[in-house]
Each structure stands twice: as structure tokens, then as C-alpha cells.
Structure 1
Amino acid sequence: MIDTRTWGRQLLNLGYSLYVGVPCSYLKSLINYAINECEYIGAANEGDAVAIASGASLGSRKAIVLMQNSGLANALSPLVSLNYPFRIPVLGFISLRGEPGYPDEPQHELMGQITTQMLSLLKIRWEILSDDLEQAKRQLIEADREIERGGSFFFVVRKGTFADEPLKKQEVSTGRNAAKKRKEAPDQLPSRYDALTVIASLADSSTVQLATTGKTGRELYEIEDAPNRLYMVGSMGCIGSLGLGLAVSAPEFDVVTIDGDGSLLMRMGSLATIGYCHPSNLLHLVLDNNSHDSTGGQRTVSHQTDFVEIAAACKYETALYVHNLDELKSAILEWKRTKGLTFIHMRIAKGSKSPLGRPNIKPHEVNQRLRSFIERRRLAGKTENSP
């Protein structure tokens, strides 16, 4: 067995202080160590965990993803359509439930047979983590080199690899919803393009804007391409979690995530995680046209979903419904003045700008440009604050 605390210190020495994951009994000791000694974010599901860790990576913070191998299927979407095209590396620890030759529950049988094959198909480098500490250290050094090169690396963890690490008493974060405003007037129903124009105009040198999959990112790009923006491709539903990871790793920036109704409905559990972490520098906007606009305009169920009430119940400090562009502008300006985790819901018209192009910049170039923007602003901030 590996002494878990010694292993944790090895990770910490390499800069890994943030853990994001979903529990597994094979990984419980490492998770307990993370909770006891580092920072741990418990995600609603494995895909969200990957997105949170990816957001942290954008903020230049090394993060670790922990998951049971059954959850690898849930993480497929961000791994193939976020991490791969954007070249965002994550270090993962994935358990090997259902390992061939070892009795386990029936639901793990098939995944146990194909876990390593799936990682290979995902073009993720992986190794079975040795239970010999010295050998494991050598594996970790190589894994960290892969991360530094921009590639992801997963350790596959067998049962009994980590020595027992008791969980200390956990501190419970208690957020609260201080302000809630529901729909109380007719909707203006502006176009998405007009709403995005307002949002884009309010960004300053300390603002990062993350736009969700589909027409949202494409329209934001057409309004004005800028180095402080990321246009999501694929990984639908992950923009809120990506924003959370960036917000906790770059607290000096205002992080604005621009979501859609179909996207939010797909991974609505992320609201609970965001509300629990309650980063004061995160603004979560939802532009709701009650449709999957980029796939033909099929209706979503957002017409009967009270997003503001849900966000408030998840302890967003402020949850607002805005009815028009003037209210949208006022709400964003108020957030920039007072901060606090804020959720804004606005209904918009169906349809999009026509013709509508696609970004000419590649996802991995967007990633590198955004990282450079964050690094430059940090250096400028240090210079401004130096005596």
C-alpha cells in the first residue's frame, strides 16, 4: 500500500492543491486526505468534475479529478469535446471497479473490462498506479511532465492501493440567498445578439467571459473577438462548472458565464455545487429562448422551469429575473459594484443572427490566448501594487 499522506505531500510539492471529484470506495483515503489537508470540491457528477478542474487549469491552478470508473462514461463529453480540442490538461485518478479476475458488483463488470481501453481511445495517457511508493513517485513525475506538455494523464487505481486515511470532522459551508426577484412584468424578448451586445459592452480589463456551446459563442465572437473570452464547443452543460473552476482559481477576475436553457437543463446539478462554493466573483447568466436553437429549434422544457427559484434554493446569493435589456445592464453593473455569486435569467427571442459564421480561431488557440490574458493581467496587477 501507498501511505496516503506521503502521496498527498508528493502531489502538493508538484503544485496540486485542488481536488475535484465524485467519491469511490477505492479512492476514499485520497479523498479524505484532500478534504483534511487541501481543497476539495465535491461535484454533482464526473463530467462536472472534469469541467471544474478544467476551469481551474485555465486559471493556471493544477487540479486533480477523482472518479469511479463507472463515472468515466459521464465524463466522456467534456473529455472529448472540451479537454481535447482546447488542449486543457487534467490529472485524473480513476478506480478500477470490476477488474477482471476480482469479484465485484454486476454493474461494474463491463466497465472493469474496458476502462483502460476507453482511456486509450480518448487519447489520454494512463498507467496502473503502483502500490510501491518509490515506483509511484516515478510515475507521478512522468504524469506531471505530460500535464506540463498539455496532455491529460490518468492513474488507474486498484483496490487497496492507498492506506487508510481517516476523515476528520468536515466543515460545512453554509451559503444563503439574500436577494431573489422573480418574473413580474411582460418580457421584452430581445434577440440573443442584442443581449450579448449588452453583456460584451460591460466587460473591462479584469473580466473573463465564457460563452456556452452553439450559437451563443458564435454570436459573441461576431460581436467582437477578444482575448478575455472563451467560446465553448461541445461539452454541453459544462459552462457553469468551467466558470466555477476559473472563479476559484482566479479570484482577482470577474468571471461571467453565459449559459442557455438547454445547456443548463442538461447539467442542472452544477447549480448546487456552484451555490455551495459561492465564489463572489462569478456571475451566471442564462439566456433562455425555450429551444435548442443550434439543432433546429426544438423546444426545451424551460417554459415550466423556474430557474431563479432553483438558483435561490441552491444558495446563489442573488437570483434575478430580468425582463429587458435595460434591466440586464443594470443588474450586471450592480453585480460588478457589489459582487457576490449572482444568477440572472432572461428570456430571449428564438432564432439567431443570419448569416452566422464560426470563429476563425481554433479552440486550443483560444485557450492559450485566455491563459496569456490572465497571466498578463496578474503581472500588471503585481506591478501596480508594488511599492
Structure 2
Amino acid sequence: MITAQGMLDTLTDHGHDLAAGVPCSYFAGPLRLLDRGARPRYIPAVNEGSAMAIAAGARLGGELPVVLAQNSGFGNMINPLTSLVLPYRIAMTVMVSMRGWPTASAGEPQHHWMGRVVPDWLDSLGVAHWTLTADGPPLAELLRLARPALDAGRPAFILVAKGAIADDAPAQVPPSCDARPTRDEVVATLLAEVGDAHVLSTTGYLSRGLFNHGDRERNFYMQGSMGHVSGLALGAALARPGNRFVVLDGDGAVLMHMGVMATIGANAPANLTHVIFDNGVYDSTGGQRTGCARMDFAAAALASGYRDALTVDTIDTLRAALRSALAAPGPTAIVVRGAAGGPAGERASNNVTVGEIGVRFRDSLAVAAHPPGERMPG
């Protein structure tokens, strides 16, 4: 096992000038240090493909970059890897955490496939890769082995097993005077106001909070697929225009695939309310900053064609905003400036399988479309 500072020192010693990435708990320690200004220079990216593009630009500019990402987002890398990095012969080191490897836990089935296929995909592309484990060859040795690939203008991947990097960098304590709404307060307020609306929540702690505060068949808890819950809600809202849908989203998730906001605006579903909890960090991976403190989500929603959008920073104004949005045609965005941190709560999939979550949500929509006593088609 290598320490958090040891990992960064090793990367720097091997010539890496810049790191770009999307958080993973496997890199929690090094990312905390990078957030505080440790070398190499760190650029938080909105998704893994963007991190790879930033790294490619840095390499064209004469720096040697490293990308930090988790295998859940490996799919986001495929396009820039195959159409930019490989054909343009742009060298970079890519460190990818191997969640779900060698097997995924019962509570995290979304890691099953990526936990298996990443090495095979890299082999099929002819991309060199090595695996960093707690008791295997040290990182310095793997970087030495990777150097010929970099010198030939090709990427080199280091696949990182759980426990290979110590989470030994102390966490920063959030300000005690932060009076902004907490995640739990936002979830409880939303549940108190949504009535019979169908609620779809993004991956991470927001879904855990929704499950623990009020599990019901009309809730869809997203695990994985970060950034796609609003697209999922849009499809459901267009398919069921007679039902009301509420999206419970996070700032980091929205940033990851923000273009879907333009699609929501273009289709203008009157039955959709988009609640964005903006606390400036990725809470579920260790509280790393999103790097987008200047982002105005309400302005972006209006520019994308939402009928209305507003920003709130108290529970009272959130409650009033929800009541107004749910009584008026949408799409409406409600951006909640919230506090970072707070207990995570239990994962929904520890109690209900993700397959069951999908089935019961679909069944609840079928019942809503055909109330009890009405003859169902077929």
C-alpha cells in the first residue's frame, strides 16, 4: 500500500505536471491533498472524457499529465481515447480505480460489468496496462514499466485495486457556522411536498437520503449512471404526461452530463420539476470539490429553455418554491444552495434490489395511468 502523499510524490518524481480527474473513494486521500494545492497541479473535471481531453491538451502544451478516474466512468473515456488520444499519439498516464473487481458486492451491482471488462477492452485497443495492488509491485515500478509506452506517444493505464492507496490524508472539517440546508433537510422537505409525484434521485447520498427518509414505490433510486437521472426523468415525463415527476439531482451529477438540460428545455415537459442540491462537493467520494463554484445552475436552466428557475438557500424558501413549481407548468429548476457533509444513511440496494426498484417504479406508473377498478388493456 502506498500513502496518499507517496502516490503524489511518485507521480511528480516521474515527471507528471498536471492531474485531471473525477473523484473516486479509492483516491480519496490523494484528492484531498490535491484540493489543498499539492503537486501535481489538479484540474477537477466534470466527467472522465473531459478529464482525458484536458490531459491531452496539457500534453500538447508540453506537460506530462495523469488522469484519475473510476472504472464506472470508463465508458465516458472511450470516445476521446479512441478518436483523440490514440490516433493523435498523445501520451498520458491514466489511473483507473477498479470498483467491483474482482467481484462486485451485493449492494453495488452497478459495478459488476465494469469490474470485469476494463482490462479486456484495453487489450482489444492495444493499450498497455498494469495493476496496482496493496501487496504488488510499487507504483514507481509500474510507472517505470509504462515509460516506453509514453515515449512512443501512447497512453499507459494503471488499474488501481481497492486498498492499494491509503486514505490517510485528514479530511477538512466543514465550517460549523454553515447555516445552509443539509441534505437530510432538503430530502425531508421534498417528501413532505411532492404528494403523489414520482421522484427520481441521482446516484450517491441523495438516493440514500430519499430511501431512508421515505421509501415508496414511486421513488426511483439511481445507482451508477451518474449525470443521467434527469434524462431518465425526461423520458418518463414524456411517456406519462398525466403524471408529475420530480428529479432530485446533485451539482456534480448535473455537471457530468449537463447537455441534457438543453434537451429538457427543448421538449418542455410541463410535468417535470428539477431540484438540484448544490453543495459544491462530491460527498459520496470523500467531499472533493466540484471545481465549479462560479456555476449558476438556475441561469443555465433558463438559458436551456426551462420555463422557470430559481435559487433558494433556506428550507422555508425551498418549501415555497416546491409548492409553486408543483402547481404550475414546468419544466422548473429549483437550485438549493446546501451544506456539505452529513451522515450517508443506508444504501437502498441493501434492502431492495435495483431490479426490484425498477419493476416497482414501472408498476407504480402503470397503476397511476390505470387507477384501481379500471380495466387494464390486454
* TM-score, length-scaled by structure 1: 0.51
Q: Taking structure 1 as reference, are residues 236 and 383 closer, same or farther at Cα in structure 2, changes over 3 Å only? A: same
1:189, CA displacement in angstroms? 0.8
1:383, CA displacement in angstroms? 3.7
Do the aligned residues in 1 keep the contact of 2:273 with 2:326 (CA within 8 Å)?
no
Hey, what's the Cα distance between the residues in 1 that align with 2:292 and 2:259?
A: 15
Q: Taking structure 1 as reference, are residues 324 and 253 closer, same or farther at Cα in structure 2, changes over 3 Å only? A: same
Do the aligned residues in 2 keep the contact of 1:287 with 1:345 (CA within 8 Å)?
yes
Matches within 5 A, 1:253-268: 253-268=243-258
2:366 is equivalent to residue 375 of structure 1: yes
Do the aligned residues in 2 keep the contact of 1:290 with 1:301 (CA within 8 Å)?
yes
Bigger relative CO (Cα 8 Å, ≥ 6 apart): 1
Q: Taking structure 1 as reference, are residues 73 and 278 closer, same or farther at Cα in structure 2, changes over 3 Å only? A: farther
Per the alignment, residue 306 of structure 2 pairs with 316
1:70, CA displacement in angstroms? 5.7
* The one of 353, 356, 369 aligned to 1:365: 356
Hey, what's the Cα distance between the residues in 1 that align with 2:238 and 2:297?
A: 23
1:257-281 CA distances to partner (integer Å, 9 max, x unpaired)? 1110110111111111111111010
Residue identity matched to 1:194: E
Do the aligned residues in 2 keep the contact of 1:288 with 1:302 (CA within 8 Å)?
no
Residue identity matched to 1:197: A
Aligned-residue RMSD, C-alpha: 3.1
Residue identity matched to 2:364: F
2:259 is equivalent to residue 274 of structure 1: no
* The one of 187, 192, 198 aligned to 2:183: 192
Matches within 5 A, 1:50-61: none
* The one of 325, 328, 334 aligned to 2:324: 334
Per the alignment, residue 5 of structure 2 pairs with none
Matches within 5 A, 1:52-131: none
Secondary structure, counterpart of 1:345 in structure 2: strand
Hey, what's the Cα distance between the residues in 1 that align with 2:292 and 2:81?
A: 28
Q: Taking structure 1 as reference, are residues 248 and 347 closer, same or farther at Cα in structure 2, changes over 3 Å only? A: same
| Gap regions ≥5 residues in structure 2 | 1-48, 50-77, 84-99, 111-120, 126-177
* The one of 264, 281, 284 aligned to 1:291: 281
1:226-274 CA distances to partner (integer Å, 9 max, x unpaired)? 0000110001010111111111011111110111011011111111111
2:223 is equivalent to residue 225 of structure 1: no
Which structure 1 residue ranges, 4+ long, deviate > 2 Å from structure 2?
A: 69-74, 381-384
Q: Taking structure 1 as reference, are residues 244 and 73 closer, same or farther at Cα in structure 2, changes over 3 Å only? A: farther
Do the aligned residues in 1 keep the contact of 2:194 with 2:326 (CA within 8 Å)?
no
1:282, CA displacement in angstroms? 0.6
Residue identity matched to 1:218: R
1:323, CA displacement in angstroms? 2.0
Q: Taking structure 1 as reference, are residues 73 and 296 closer, same or farther at Cα in structure 2, changes over 3 Å only? A: farther
Per the alignment, residue 216 of structure 1 pairs with 206
Do the aligned residues in 1 keep the contact of 2:184 with 2:209 (CA within 8 Å)?
yes
Percentage of pairs with the same residue: 34
* TM-score, length-scaled by structure 2: 0.52
Do the aligned residues in 2 keep the contact of 1:261 with 1:302 (CA within 8 Å)?
no
